[in-house]
Structure 1
C-alpha cells in the first residue's frame, strides 16, 4: 500500500511538472494580453533596430510667422530597443539634423544643427487590450521618455539690425521630454514598416533666444523599417489543470486512509477456508483514459502511462480496443468539439500503432464530440477512453 501512495504522489508531482514544462507552448493568447501570462524570454531575444527618415520642424515664439514648408527639414532617426513582453518595452532613439526657426516676426530664419537622444518606454495597446498573436499585421504603440538634446554651435551670420543675445551662437544642452505614437505594419517575421509621429519639448533657451514661452516643441513624422533580432515571439503560459490535480490529491488521501486502516488490523488472523481456484478464465480490463488540456489534442507526458498499459494489455491478450474521443460541452461549439474529439482519438490510436507496434486493424476509433459526456465533472470530459472489445 505504501508503494501505491508513493507512485500516486510521484504521478501528481510529474503532472505538475509536465503542465509547467510543456515542450511547445502556444504563441497566440485566448484572452487579452493583460489577462495572459507569458514566458520570460532570454536576454538576447526580442531586440530590434529601427532606421527611419522623415520631416521635422520646431515651434518657437515666432515660428508661426514663417511658412511651414520652408521650416520643415529632413529628420533621420535610429533606434535600438527590446520588448520585455508583448505589450511593453524600451528603446534608445536618436534624432537630429537641422532645425529652421523664425525670429524677428519672420525676418530672420535660424539654421540650428542639433541631435536629441532619449530613452522611451513603449506600450503596445493592440497586444495589451487585444489578444496577442505574433502574426498580427497592425500595432499601435504610444511611448513616453526623457532625453538629452544638444544644439551645436551656430556660426550663422546675423544681420546687424537684429537684436539677438550676445551668446546666440553658443551651443546649448538641455533635458528633453519626448512622446509620440508609432503605427506598425508587419511585413514579415523579422521586418516591420513603422510610422512614427514624435514630439519633444525643450526649454525655451534651447535656441539661445528666450521670449514669452517656457518651452519650444520639435515635431517629426518619420517612416522606416524595424528589424527584429533573436527570438521574435512570446509564448503563452498554459495554466495547470487544477481539477485534475485535485482529483489526484483525492486519490492519494484515499490511499492514505486505506493504509491507516490496514495498519490497525490484528497481527494474526483466524484460519480462513481455502478457496477453490476458478475454472473459468476472464479478461480483467478496466477502461483506460487519457486526459487532454483545453483546446489540445496533444498527449501530455504524464498521460503516456495509460497508453502504455493499454498496449501491454493488447499484446498479452490479443484483444481489440475501442478508442473513443470526447470534448467538454462548456467550451467550444458543437462542430469544433466534434473535430477536436476526433483529433484526440486519432492521436491515441496513432501512438498505439507507431510507438507500440499495435496493428491498426485491432484498434476501433470513434469520436463523440460534446454530445456525450461520460463524466459528471466537465473538465474530465476532455478525454479519450479505451475499452476492450
Structure 2
C-alpha cells in the first residue's frame, strides 16, 4: 500500500503542475498623421539567451529506488544512479536526456527467494519551472519547483526470472526541487515514477503494469556566464512614439512657416538693375530622423517606413543636398565583427528603399557602417539598433 501512495503522490503533483494561466496582451494605438497602427504590447517582457551555449547543464546524482512488480513481503530498496544533460530553452521550459540504472531486488515467488535484475534506462524529459511561471523569472531564486514528464527505454541485461534480456518503453512523471548554491552550481532532490508493461521482469502475472520509483539527490553544474536577458517591446514602442512626435512637430512648424504672408514690398526707386546672387543653400546636418530595427534584424518595418519617406521627400525638396546614412548595432548582442556586418545591412536596406522605391539618385547618398564600436545612446542599449541620417551640401 505504501508504494501505491508514492505513485498517487507523483500523479497528483504532475496534474497540479500543468495548471497554467497565461496573462493576455494589452493593445496600444499609435497615430501618425492620418495613419493608425495597432501594436500588441505584452503584459510581461520577453527573454532570450545571448549565446547558444548558455543555459546548458550537467547533473550527477544518486539515491534509492524500488521495483513495483510481483513481490512478496515489504518493498526492497536499492542504489540508483543518475546522469543528465539538459538545456533551458527559456526561463519556463527546458529539455534533458536522463540516464539511470542500477540493480532491482524482488522476492518472488516466496519471501526466501530474492531476484537481482540489473538494468539501464534513458529518458527524454520535458521540464517545466513552475516557480518562474507563477512568480516571475529570477536568476538568483534559491528554491525552484520543477515538474517533468518523459518517455524512454529500459534494458534489463541481467534478469534471472526471465532467463534472457528484456526491454520496455516506460513513460514517467516526477518532481524536482532545485536549490541554488551559486551561479554555476545547484543542489537538487528529484523523485520519479515510471510505468511499463508487465513483461520487464519476466513474470507475466499479477500486476498488469510495473513501475520503478526512485528518489535522487545530487549536484548540477550550469554552463554559460549569462542566463537570460529581458527584451521589453513596450519601451521600444515609447521611443518610436517620441521620435514620431518630433517629426510631426517639425512638419507642423514647417507648415506654419510656409503659411505666413510676405510683407508688402517697398517701391523701387532705383532704375539700375542689380543682379543679386542666389543665396547658397544650406543643408541641415542634423535631420532629427532615425529608423529603428528589431534585435538581430535588418528589415525596415512598416512603422519605420514613414521616416524613410520623410527623408526621400526632404531630398526631393532640396536637390542640392546630399544625405549620409549611418547604421549602428547594440554592443550587448553579438560580436563586434557580426555587428559591423549587421549595421551595414541596416544602412543598405534604407539606401535601397530611397533609391529603388523613391527614385533618389544613389550619388547623393553616402552609406556608413559603424557597427557597435560607436553607441549613439550609451545609456540605453536598445536604442542603438538604429540608422541615423545627416545632411550635407552637394559638391559641384
After TM superposition, the score normalised by the length of structure 2 is 0.53
> What are the superposed Cα offsets for residues 135-162 of structure 1, whole Å, 9 maximum, x if unpaired?
11111111001101101143x4xxxxxx
Find out whether 1:66 has 2:73 as its counterpart.
yes
Find out whether 1:50 has 2:44 as its counterpart.
no
> What are the superposed Cα offsets for residues 102-130 of structure 1, whole Å, 9 maximum, x if unpaired?
32243432210001101101011111111
- The residue matched to 1:132 in structure 2 has which SS? coil
**1:132 CA displacement:** 1.9
What is the CA–CA distance in structure 2 between the aligned matches of 1:75 and 1:251, rounded to whole Å? Answer: 67
The residue that corresponds to 1:88 in the other structure is 93
- The residue matched to 1:206 in structure 2 has which SS? coil
**1:86 CA displacement:** 1.5
The residue that corresponds to 1:108 in the other structure is 113
The residue that corresponds to 1:249 in the other structure is 244
Find out whether 1:176 has 2:176 as its counterpart.
no
Q: Could you tell me which runs of 5 or more consecutive residues in structure 1 were left unpaired when the two chains were aligned.
A: 1-30, 157-163, 274-389
The residue that corresponds to 1:126 in the other structure is 131
- The residue matched to 1:223 in structure 2 has which SS? strand
Within 5 Å, which residues of 2 pair with 1:156-167? Answer: 156=160
Out of 176, 191, 203, the position equivalent to 1:209 is 203
Moved over 6 A (4+): none
What is the CA–CA distance in structure 2 between the aligned matches of 1:127 and 1:121, rounded to whole Å? Answer: 16
- The residue matched to 2:90 in structure 1 has which SS? coil
Out of 172, 193, 196, the position equivalent to 2:187 is 193
**1:192 CA displacement:** 0.6
- The residue matched to 1:248 in structure 2 has which SS? helix
- The residue matched to 1:196 in structure 2 has which SS? strand
- The residue matched to 2:46 in structure 1 has which SS? coil
- The residue matched to 1:170 in structure 2 has which SS? coil
What is the CA–CA distance in structure 2 between the aligned matches of 1:92 and 1:135, rounded to whole Å? Answer: 25
The residue that corresponds to 2:22 in the other structure is none
Highest relative contact order (Cα 8 Å, sep 6+), 1 or 2? 1
Q: How many residues align?
A: 226
What is the CA–CA distance in structure 1 between the aligned matches of 2:266 and 2:178, rounded to whole Å? Answer: 82
What is the CA–CA distance in structure 1 between the aligned matches of 2:106 and 2:148, rounded to whole Å? Answer: 26
RMSD of aligned alpha carbons: 2.6
**1:213 CA displacement:** 2.7
What is the CA–CA distance in structure 1 between the aligned matches of 2:125 and 2:98, rounded to whole Å? Answer: 8
After TM superposition, the score normalised by the length of structure 1 is 0.53
Contact residue 189 and residue 232 of structure 1 kept, 8 A: no
Out of 150, 155, 179, the position equivalent to 2:155 is 150
- The residue matched to 1:197 in structure 2 has which SS? strand
What is the CA–CA distance in structure 2 between the aligned matches of 1:142 and 1:239, rounded to whole Å? Answer: 30
> What are the superposed Cα offsets for residues 9-28 of structure 1, whole Å, 9 maximum, x if unpaired?
xxxxxxxxxxxxxxxxxxxx
> What are the superposed Cα offsets for residues 149-198 of structure 1, whole Å, 9 maximum, x if unpaired?
101143x4xxxxxxx7xxx2111122111211111111111111100111
**1:272 CA displacement:** 7.0
Change (3 A) 1:113 1:270: same
Q: Could you tell me which runs of 5 or more consecutive residues in structure 2 were left unpaired when the two chains were aligned.
A: 1-41, 268-396
